[in-house]
Homo-oligomer: A and B are copies of this chain.
Amino acid sequence: MDNITIKMLAKELNLSTAAISKALRDSHEISTPTKQRVQELASRLNYIPNAYAGSLRIRKSKTIAVVLPEVADSFFSQAINGIEAIAEERGYHVLIYLTHENFSREEAILKDFQSGRVDGVLMSLTAETASYKHINDLSSRNIPLVFFDRVCEEANTAKITTNDLESSYKATQHLVDCGCRNIALLSISDCLSISNKRKEGYEKALADNRVPQGPLNIFCGNDPAKNVAALKTILQKKDRPDGVIASVEKLTTDVYLACKELGLSIPGDMKVVSFSNLSSASILNPSLTTVTQPAYEMGKTAAIILFKSLEKKNFVLHDECLTLPSELIVRGSTVAGK
């Protein structure tokens, strides 16, 4: 069965394609009876306009792209939910691209967007991203870009973040209050501004409390086995940490396993806070103290701002930088019995 086109409707009704087009868009140039005839036939034949013919004319695709490091992560999957909710509402389509933390993949993806495939982009940077040419190239093609969470500070556009510095400060302060004196910070990057913010908050809290800095810049990668091994090495040292802040959700399992394998009890021997949106945080062994980010809201907000810039000309994306608060939820990995 061939697809129905405007041309076919035109032939069927002895009208021009122009008339059909106008009738379908309910133009006032077309008489009511004609409109009715056209619309009746269109719905009877189940006419669906070709998605790309219109895009080619109009130079709008009603499509946005979401560029993410990964999906198998509660933060990002919840953010997608927020984005999708708004896109659906506006009748937009969502293309998804995963960088797997790979910078050259990120470059290639953004480059493709110069093809006019998408009207706008929502993005969270790779842990490796340290140069911004690909981002500026996209901007120079007038394709609006909104960052969320892992933002590019250098880019002159909208950024939706959470209060990384403050929440990291709070998390560190909480560990100090729980008696920790040797607190490690597990990171995945020394490029990302969110990593740096979290580090700053951590350092500030330590300084304010006159607690010496613990093992820092423990960079963890994508291989859980390696992470566990690296953690075990650190945890077997004499001056091992008595507290740890995992700045990424997926490191939680690695920390728990390393402790388990070494027979270290949480929170007795070691206290743990994670930046995490895991819905199972409360049923972990022990339940996990988290810094929980407003993932859904961040995705939603980023999408709303992107659509604003898509809908209004002269909308200045640069002015739209929002910070939504995260929440420290104290559970059993820092306070026994919680």
Contacts and interface: CB of A to CB of B under 8 A. Distances in A.
B284 A283 contact: yes
A285 B282 CA distance: 9
A106 to B, nearest CB: 13
Contact of A283 (B55, B96, B116, B257): B257
A203 interface: no
A280 B252 contact: yes
Contacts of A140: 1
Copies, count: 2
Given A3-B141, A71-B77, A284-B285, A111 B250 contact: no
A88, A250, A285 — which one has the most chain B CB atoms within 10 A of its CB?
A285
A14 interface: no
Contacts of A53: 56
Contacts of A93: 95, 117
Contact of A96 (B1, B48, B94, B280): B94
Contacts of A114: 3, 46, 48
A59 to B, nearest CB: 9
Interface stretch (A32-40, A78-86, A178-186, A312-320): A78-86
A49 interface: yes
B284 A117 contact: no
Contacts of A46: 114, 137
Interface residues of A, number: 55
Interface string A87-129: 0100001111110000000000001101111000000000000
A213 to B, nearest CB: 28
Nearest to A224: B279
Given A96-B84, A285-B286, A116 B52 contact: yes
B72 A98 contact: no
Nearest to A47: B114
A278 interface: yes
A279 B250 contact: yes
Nearest to A140: B1
Can you list the 9 inter-chain pairs with the closest CB atoms, starting with the nearest? A285-B285, A51-B117, A51-B115, A256-B283, A52-B52, A72-B77, A71-B77, A48-B114, A52-B55
Interface of A: 1, 3, 46, 48-53, 55-56, 61, 63, 70-74, 77-78, 80-81, 84, 88, 93-98, 111-112, 114-117, 137, 140-142, 250, 252-253, 256-257, 260, 278-280, 282-287
Given A51-B115, A280-B280, 12 more contacts: A1-B142, A3-B114, A3-B116, A49-B115, A51-B117, A52-B116, A71-B80, A71-B84, A72-B77, A93-B117, A95-B95, A278-B280
21 contacts: A1-B141, A3-B114, A46-B137, A48-B111, A50-B56, A51-B116, A52-B56, A70-B81, A71-B84, A72-B74, A84-B96, A93-B117, A95-B95, A95-B96, A96-B96, A253-B282, A253-B283, A257-B282, A278-B280, A280-B284, A284-B284
